[in-house]
Structure 1
Amino acid sequence: MPAGKAPKGARKAAPASGSDRIGALPDETLHHVLSFLPAQQAVRTCVLARRWLHLWKSATGLRIVGADGEAPVPFEEVREFVDSLLLLRGSSPLETFELRVAGDDIDVRRVRLWVRYAVQCKVQVLRLSFLGNAHVGPVARLRPDDPPLASRHLTKLELRGLVFNDDFLDFSRCPELQDLHIQDCSLEHAERISSLSLRHLNIRGAFNPSSRARILAPNLASSVLLTFGRTPVLQKMPLLVKGTVGIRGLCEDLCSSPAPNYVSYVDFDKSCRGCIRDGSACVILRAVSQAEDLVLIASPDTIHLLEANVQIKGRFNPNELPSTISSHVKEVEIICGGVDGNVLKVLRFLSKLNINLA
């Protein structure tokens, strides 16, 4: 081998102090680093040096967000930019695609094409956030003919500010989806949320006040459901370890029968307009009965609390448990702002289980 020549494929020596240390990193590392930048800034790196000219095209993540990396960017400011970006970028695989935009006139048809592009690039994590100029309420509406997502690679989906149609939340064509987060969205037209692969579910939004949606996710390990409107029916979740269910104000599940059962945590009276009528015994409790850590929350607007503060802890006598209560439960804790007739009904129910109050 001639003197002074390194073997073919050998790594270059570390650059001298003061030289371009970042530029000396392998392309794969730089593609990953660029994925953390807002897309506008990632593209601008093409002017740094000849080597950087095309690196942004292979960034493993695209973030269409504000300049600070957190705030939403006005939709009108990035509409043409994103169109050109996706055209020039080609079909390099994506790990993450994040779109966080604001505006009262968001072009959902254009957004749909952007999402389709991300899916074709085998995106694994998809984040969509739409805010109005006042940052209040859902602003992006999916039409009834918008099909559900279909991806063999998607593992995490985060949605904010959407108005769903009745089919979009059917994830049967996303067999690897593990995490689903829905925040500040309208689920009034969503009749069903279903996924056999889902492990973690977090929903904070409004369901239809006059009809009851259903959630089918039998393999959930954790769930958070904070909602108002008509509480959705939860199908059985035998693998659930940790669950939180919160019924906020404007709840439509207060029982109006002469002998009320109240909030939809327990059985329903068939004579009540707010009760379930399809023969199911309950909406929530039976589905989450296997959870080891379970939190049930009702806001003061839902259960009127009038008297002194109360904090109660108790332990079950396992020999007295009814079939609707999991044998895994070891301790019950009740915290409320006051005691009225509703709370007393709960206490009487718990007293039948031979709970020792702390």
Structure 2
Amino acid sequence: MPAAKSRKGARAADPGSGGDRIGALPDEILHRVLAFLPAQQAVRTCVLARRWIHLWKHATGLRIVGADGKAAAPFEEVREFVDSFLILRGSSPLETFEVKVAGAAVDVRHLRLWVRYGMMCNVQELRLKVIGNAPALLRLKDPALASKHLTRLELRGLVFNNDFLDFSRCPELQDLKIKDCCFIHVERISSQSLKHLVITRGIFNLSSRTRIHTANLGSLELLVTEGRAPVLERMPLLDSAIVAIMGNSDCCSRCNNGDCGDESCKGCIRNDTLSVLLHGISQVKTFTLVAGAETFIFRRDLKWCPTFSQLETLELTEHDVHALSCILEHSPILESLNLYFLEFDKGFKAKVKMSGRFNPTELPSTISPHLKRVKVRCGTVDKRVLKVLKFLSTLNISFSFRGKKKKRKAGDKSSTT
């Protein structure tokens, strides 16, 4: 039989010769293999053989990272290389484009040109990360992204202007991750297509609130470390939400309802604002709330507490009995309640684990008849925990204690009772 024709772009290799097996792969596969390499290594493959001279230009991914492929690349060391690399590469389509740089003076003008290049190549996944203590400032005249192909975006170490996070011109964007970024100039984050949003260690404005408008969102993770918590607008399709308010700008030691009467208090909310967090996510199915003891922003929202008509799993770190009672009374189909009372300075270790015992038919009429599980995790059973347990006992929920077992030393005799 005649020998089978080799696939396009591939050279036949003698199976017994131990020859160039990688070179025998078709160009389409090599383009994907090269996408995993840092750009500095990918371009060096041009010296392997004549066939490899231009393969790197058509790699489906481009990574501007450190030489090891993991760490950030020093910006000053790679700036000229990247500028030349992009010119020589041309406009071959990109599936992924990662820029991970570090340095004391990252020039945002170059970052903007690199991102624009990715948009020109119809990139689908873009990762832009500035590592270090000097975030890159997106200047006020920098426009929002515009792409019909972008589906996933990761941003880190940036100070945004008011326009950059308007994704109305990115109709296919579904996943957005933002870490270690500053939102003090951002009035609104908006997208009609977004399905998953993660904001971790976000710094927000101290005197005004950013609004998050993502009506089709399916999952939300929000960790605010400084500034006022953003206003969450209506998210009717939300399946899960994790909201953590760790900063002190939404805290007040003098008042629990959010208006202590001191006009200079930047943490309080004036009476003309109704809901910040809860109304927007009232259709969520799984909700985790992490807040400090003095964070009243969520307790103030409870004045206009919505009905969590879809909520099945609730996780709280609040010791506030009123807050717990209010949410329980407004969660008609709740199935699982998990309470975590852990101390940050003790490593969030749960030394005590408790499981609630109850008969669903004996629960008050104000509590979900679908409730199946109640669990409490804490470092120690202090007065605050006891207060919560006492409240739960009024709902006919009792607890069995299970402390952390100590490891028995070798030679210890077991005891019987």
1:63 paired residue number = 63
1:172 aligns with 2:171: no
CA distance in 2, matches of 1:13, 1:49: 15
Q: Which consecutive unaligned segments of at least 5 residues does structure 1 have? A: 262-267, 304-309, 315-319
| Aligned residue runs from structure 1 range 281-300, under 5 A | 281-299=274-292
- Which letter maps to 2:40? Q
| Alignment match of 1:335 (pick from 336, 340, 343) | 340
* Percent of residue pairs bearing the same amino acid type: 57
1:317 paired residue number = none
- Which letter maps to 1:222? S
C-alpha contact 1:291 1:328 (8 A) present in aligned 2 = no
Decide whether aligned partners of structure 1 residues 5 and 68 sit closer, same or farther in structure 2, where only a CA change above 3 A counts.
closer
Structure number with higher relative contact order (C-alpha < 8 Å, ≥ 6 residues apart): 1
- Which letter maps to 2:97? F
1:264 paired residue number = none
Question: What is the CA deviation profile of residues 226-284 of structure 1, one whole-angstrom value per residue up to 9, with x for unaligned ones?
Answer: 11310000011111111101111x321124665x23xxxxxx55957534447453211
- Which letter maps to 2:48? L
| Alignment match of 1:163 (pick from 156, 159, 165) | 159
C-alpha contact 2:11 2:25 (8 A) present in aligned 1 = no
- Which letter maps to 1:295? T
Question: What is the CA deviation profile of residues 330-358 of structure 1, one whole-angstrom value per residue up to 9, with x for unaligned ones?
Answer: 2222221479998899889x869958464
1:254 paired residue number = 251
TM-score norm. by structure 1 comes to: 0.82
1:98 paired residue number = 98
1:30 paired residue number = 30
C-alpha contact 1:150 1:173 (8 A) present in aligned 2 = yes
- Which letter maps to 2:101? V
1:123 paired residue number = 123
Deviation of 1:220 (Å)? 1.0
| Alignment match of 2:199 (pick from 203, 212, 218) | 203
Decide whether aligned partners of structure 1 residues 195 and 71 sit closer, same or farther in structure 2, where only a CA change above 3 A counts.
same
Decide whether aligned partners of structure 1 residues 341 and 186 sit closer, same or farther in structure 2, where only a CA change above 3 A counts.
farther
CA RMSD of aligned residues (A): 3.3
Q: Secondary structure at the match of 2:241?
A: strand
CA distance in 2, matches of 1:280, 1:80: 50
CA distance in 2, matches of 1:173, 1:31: 29
Total equivalences in the alignment:
330
1:212 paired residue number = 209
C-alpha contact 2:206 2:249 (8 A) present in aligned 1 = yes
C-alpha contact 1:220 1:239 (8 A) present in aligned 2 = yes
CA distance in 2, matches of 1:108, 1:302: 36
| Aligned residue runs from structure 1 range 203-282, under 5 A | 203-204=199-200, 205-228=202-225, 229-248=227-246, 250-255=247-252, 258=255, 260-261=256-257, 268-269=258-259, 273=265, 274-277=267-270, 279-282=272-275
| Higher Cα radius of gyration | 2
Q: Secondary structure at the match of 2:180?
A: strand
1:75 paired residue number = 75
Deviation of 1:165 (Å)? 0.7
Q: Secondary structure at the match of 2:181?
A: strand
C-alpha contact 1:97 1:126 (8 A) present in aligned 2 = yes
- Which letter maps to 2:98? E
- Which letter maps to 1:123? V
Q: Which consecutive unaligned segments of at least 5 residues does structure 2 have? A: 297-316, 322-326, 343-379, 400-417
CA distance in 1, matches of 2:192, 2:154: 18
C-alpha contact 2:210 2:230 (8 A) present in aligned 1 = yes
2:15 paired residue number = 16
- Which letter maps to 1:52? W
C-alpha contact 1:191 1:214 (8 A) present in aligned 2 = yes
C-alpha contact 2:210 2:231 (8 A) present in aligned 1 = yes
- Which letter maps to 1:155? T
- Which letter maps to 1:86? L
CA distance in 2, matches of 1:22, 1:166: 48
- Which letter maps to 2:112? R
Decide whether aligned partners of structure 1 residues 346 and 218 sit closer, same or farther in structure 2, where only a CA change above 3 A counts.
farther
Decide whether aligned partners of structure 1 residues 190 and 217 sit closer, same or farther in structure 2, where only a CA change above 3 A counts.
same
Decide whether aligned partners of structure 1 residues 252 and 87 sit closer, same or farther in structure 2, where only a CA change above 3 A counts.
same
1:141 paired residue number = 137
TM-score norm. by structure 2 comes to: 0.71
Q: Secondary structure at the match of 1:117?
A: helix
CA distance in 2, matches of 1:172, 1:345: 48
Decide whether aligned partners of structure 1 residues 287 and 116 sit closer, same or farther in structure 2, where only a CA change above 3 A counts.
same
